[in-house]
Amino acid sequence: MNISYSKVTKWTQIALCFAMCHPNLVSAQLPESCQDILTADPSASDGEYAIYPERQIFPVYCHNMASGTPEEYLTLQNTGGNFNFSQYRAGGASPGTTVVTYYTKIRFHPDTLIVDTGDQTFAQSSGSLWHPPKQVQWMPYGSAMDCLSNFSSSGRGNVDLTGTPFEVDDRFGIAGWRAAGSISDANQLLSTTSVAVSSQVVNLKGGGYCGWASIAGNVPPNSGGGQLQLKYIGDVLQVKLDSFKRVGKTNSIEIAAFGDSGDKITVVETDLKGNVTNKNYGEGQIGDSNPVGPDLFYRAAKFSGQPGHCYKLEGTDGNTGETVFPLKDSEGTTAIVCID
């Protein structure tokens, strides 16, 4: 999972300062929302940040920070063309021009993982048609519709969460009058049929007289949008390396990491060519002395290395015993320190 850490680092420094410098005064919390970020740093501006609800880690776009009540949006990686759009094909009982709405970000609630499919803040629409009793000029996220003829299904739509740590976890259906269509290119479905969808990509075909494909129970042109349930499929924050570095030109090496109290870090020693010389040069648990979130703690420590050797880290989950070697830094590269 690729996350921009330019603003994440700023938050982390704030959290660690409180946790390490004032452990008796306040229990610093890693942010679970854009509001948490703004509370910790009132000068924070709109942009991409990492948040950590329920020990999950994922990026959100914090919008309208200056208002004091920011909102979270999920940035979509694939946009334009056949990606992340909804369509109402004009013709038949709906005269006008085909309405197409493209989404680049979707309104997202990190506590529930629900998307507000009617939010148009980061959407762009074209076309206009008449659907009694109103003019339609945009379509909710995740919908496809027409009103051409019985079982016509010429409307198209797409949900594509590729590149995010989420997938759809909801029901999509075909509905309307003499409606037809399909969900994710499956066999054609008739009216009132719905299917469970667990996928990052959902392709929609829908229509009728009038008919549509959308979230089950949602009426796209009249409802103003609905709620689309997502599921987190990304990393769970366990042993998370914050820093690993040599102190100047000395033999002293610093480690700082996040994890729960039972998580363990083991130092693995190698020679300068990368051959392992000691699989357990030293180890220690994260412990529970510096809380920075629910069941999440921070520990900083030092050890002395040997000239002519390099050091990598292995993380062990205290609950499952699962190990990760070698641990990587925030840029996704192997964390290694050498004493030459």
Q: Are residues 255 and 319 in the same domain?
A: yes
- The per-residue pLDDT for 57 is 78
**Residue 104 and residue 66 in contact, taking contact as beta carbons nearer than 8 Å:** no
Mean pLDDT of 54-76: 92
- The per-residue pLDDT for 39 is 93
pLDDT band (50, 70, 90) for residue 15: very low
Q: Are residues 93 and 211 in the same domain?
A: yes
Q: Is the per-residue pLDDT at 156 higher than 60? A: yes
pLDDT band (50, 70, 90) for residue 236: low
**Residue 312 and residue 278 in contact, taking contact as beta carbons nearer than 8 Å:** no
CA-closest candidate to residue 129, choices 179, 180, 89: 89
- 33 located within any domain: yes
Give exposure, 273-301, as e/b (b: 16+ Cβ within 10 Å): eeeeeeeebbeebbeeebbbbeebbbbee
Q: Is the per-residue pLDDT at 293 higher than 70? A: no
Q: Are residues 90 and 213 in the same domain?
A: yes
Per-residue pLDDT reduced to its tens digit, 23-32:
332 234 578 8
- 234 located within any domain: no
Last residue of a domain, one of 173, 194, 228: 228
Q: Are residues 222 and 89 in the same domain?
A: yes
CA-closest candidate to residue 181, choices 212, 150, 142: 212
Last residue of a domain, one of 228, 256, 281: 228
Percent of the chain having pLDDT more than 90?
60
Q: Are residues 302 and 187 in the same domain?
A: no
Rounded Cα distance between 197 and 211, Å, is 20
pLDDT band (50, 70, 90) for residue 217: confident
CA-closest candidate to residue 81, choices 104, 102, 106: 102
In this prediction the pTM is 0.70
- The per-residue pLDDT for 235 is 62
Q: Are residues 19 and 38 in the same domain?
A: yes
- 233 located within any domain: no
Q: Could you tell me what percentage of the chain is helix, strand and coil, using 3-state DSSP and rounding each to the nearest 5?
A: 10, 50, 40
Q: Are residues 100 and 224 in the same domain?
A: yes
Average pLDDT, the chain: 86
pLDDT band (50, 70, 90) for residue 11: very low
Mean pLDDT of 58-66: 95
Q: Are residues 94 and 224 in the same domain?
A: yes
CATH of the domain at 304: 2.20.130
- 80 located within any domain: no
CA-closest candidate to residue 305, choices 259, 272, 256: 272
- 329 located within any domain: yes
Torsion of CA 320, 324, 329, 333, to 10 degrees: -150
- Phi and psi at residue 79, to the nearest 5°: -135, 160
Q: Is the per-residue pLDDT at 17 higher than 70? A: no
Q: Is the per-residue pLDDT at 21 higher than 90? A: no
Per-residue pLDDT reduced to its tens digit, 80-127:
999 999 999 999 999 999 999 999 999 999 999 999 999 999 999 999
User: How many distinct structural domains can be found in the chain?
Assistant: 3
Q: Is the per-residue pLDDT at 340 higher than 80? A: yes
- The per-residue pLDDT for 7 is 34
Mean pLDDT of 1-21: 33
Q: Are residues 273 and 324 in the same domain?
A: yes
Q: Are residues 63 and 111 in the same domain?
A: no
**Residue 78 and residue 84 in contact, taking contact as beta carbons nearer than 8 Å:** yes
Percent of the chain having pLDDT more than 70?
88
Q: Which two tokens stand for residue 46?
A: 């709109």
Q: Is the per-residue pLDDT at 335 higher than 70? A: yes
Amino acid at 175: A
**Residue 240 and residue 308 in contact, taking contact as beta carbons nearer than 8 Å:** no
Q: Are residues 145 and 107 in the same domain?
A: yes
- The per-residue pLDDT for 116 is 97
Pairing of strands 144-146, 85-89: parallel
Q: Is the per-residue pLDDT at 49 higher than 50? A: yes
- 176 located within any domain: yes
User: What is the span of the domain harbouring residue 263?
Assistant: 240-339
* DSSP secondary structure of 237-260: --SEEEEEEE-TTSSEEEEEEEE-
- The per-residue pLDDT for 16 is 38
Mean pLDDT of 217-223: 80
Q: How many CA atoms lie within 13 A of 324 on its CB side?
A: 20
Q: Are residues 301 and 181 in the same domain?
A: no
